[in-house]
């Protein structure tokens, strides 16, 4: 199966105006706004739908229908692969057709998941220029201030899943959809990447005692400066940071999380570990921890 990335996120929200303001401040381009909601896009062509939580087109969330993601759509690289996934999943679950050959169903935790032909847009993101000793990538140039982050893609999504169902929840993605395991922490969660992705994770199933629930969506920006300047912009506009900024241990990505009025958190991230099929999944008996380091900004403001 050739799933390549998160293609769309569809939120059902309580307060559309707040949801729209939040994603505009987050730095995404708004494609459309009407009485039903709004559509945002990333530069690489992924879409985010904000709809009223009572919109009849929305599938129900696995627990309750407060503001949250009501469908995650995975992009697939060909019509043939899309058909293969449909045939595979229709063996034991109901498939609901939507536009074109796209369709959705539910995973083992009850999350609505869709599949469609991916529509990637190629963008050229210049890597950060760093001066190290005599290796001066930024010779005669200075760091410039940006007023707002401009995330270029959705990198991953994270769900809470009930601890006791984690084996079946994870094996659905690995055995049925071809996801690769990158890191597993026993009793805590599984980081997985799409079969055609080099990201350490595009999906993290985070175990807890309780019901299944959307946790966060992560957006890649260029570098640490963009995380920090983008996060400061969010704070200045009244949005609440959900964590301090820091660097994760598993995945190694730099991060800063904010609380999204449309449901869960959003994360700015940069510089995540990349791997291919030569990577040997690591199995951790004990949680190695959340961060290598973090900056204590929450208590200083």
- Tell me which residues touch Fe ion (CB under 5 A): 218, 267
Tokens of 10: 């569809």
Phi, psi dihedral angles at 134 (to 5 degrees): -90, 0
Nearer to Fe ion, 62 or 155 (CB): 155
CA–CA gap between residue 39 and residue 28 (Å, rounded): 10
In angstroms, give the least distance from the CB of 292 to Fe ion. 15
Nearest to 205 by CA among 222, 230, 187: 187
Nearer to Fe ion, 115 or 256 (CB): 256
Nearer to Fe ion, 213 or 267 (CB): 267
Query: How many helices and strands, by DSSP H and E, does the chain display?
Result: 4, 20
CA–CA gap between residue 263 and residue 131 (Å, rounded): 39
Nearer to Fe ion, 218 or 275 (CB): 218
In angstroms, give the least distance from the CB of 47 to Fe ion. 20
In angstroms, give the least distance from the CB of 164 to Fe ion. 24
CA angle centred on 223, ends 123 and 118, rounded to 5° = 35
In angstroms, give the least distance from the CB of 91 to Fe ion. 32
Nearer to Fe ion, 172 or 191 (CB): 191
In angstroms, give the least distance from the CB of 257 to Fe ion. 8
In angstroms, give the least distance from the CB of 204 to Fe ion. 7
CA angle centred on 69, ends 52 and 301, rounded to 5° = 95
Residue with tokens 């987050």: 26
CA–CA gap between residue 265 and residue 258 (Å, rounded): 5
CA–CA gap between residue 218 and residue 206 (Å, rounded): 15
Instruction: Please say whether the beta carbons of 177 and 170 come within 8 A.
Output: no
Nearer to Fe ion, 71 or 248 (CB): 248
């Amino acid at each position: 199966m050739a799933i390549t990335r998160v293609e769309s996120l569809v939120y059902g929200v309580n307060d559309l105006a707040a949801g729209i303001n939040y994603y505009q401040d987050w730095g995404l381009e708004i494609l459309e706004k009407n009485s039903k909601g709004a559509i945002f896009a990333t530069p690489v062509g992924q879409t985010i739908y904000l709809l009223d939580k009572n919109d009849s087109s929305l599938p129900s969330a696995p627990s309750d229908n407060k503001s949250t993601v009501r469908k995650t759509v995975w992009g697939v690289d060909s019509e043939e692969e899309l058909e293969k996934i449909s045939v595979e999943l229709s063996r034991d679950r109901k498939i609901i057709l939507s536009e074109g050959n796209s369709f959705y169903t539910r995973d083992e935790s009850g999350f609505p998941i869709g599949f469609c032909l991916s529509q990637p847009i190629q963008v050229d993101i210049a890597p950060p220029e760093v001066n190290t000793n005599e290796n001066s990538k930024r010779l005669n140039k200075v760091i410039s201030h940006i007023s707002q982050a401009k995330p270029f893609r959705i990198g991953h999504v994270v769900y809470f899943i009930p601890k006791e169902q984690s084996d079946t929840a994870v094996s659905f993605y690995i055995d049925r959809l071809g996801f690769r395991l990158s890191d597993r922490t026993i009793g805590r969660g599984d980081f997985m990447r799409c079969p055609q992705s080099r990201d350490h994770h595009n999906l993290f199933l985070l175990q807890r005692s309780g019901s299944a629930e959307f946790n966060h969506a992560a957006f890649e920006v260029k570098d640490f400066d963009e995380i920090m300047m983008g996060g400061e912009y969010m704070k200045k506009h009244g949005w609440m940071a959900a964590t301090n900024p820091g660097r994760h241990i598993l995945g190694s990505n730099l991060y800063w999380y904010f609380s999204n009025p449309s449901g869960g958190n959003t994360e700015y991230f940069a510089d995540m570990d990349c791997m291919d099929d030569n990577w040997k999944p690591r199995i951790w008996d004990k949680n190695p921890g959340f961060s290598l380091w973090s900056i204590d900004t929450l208590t200083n403001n």
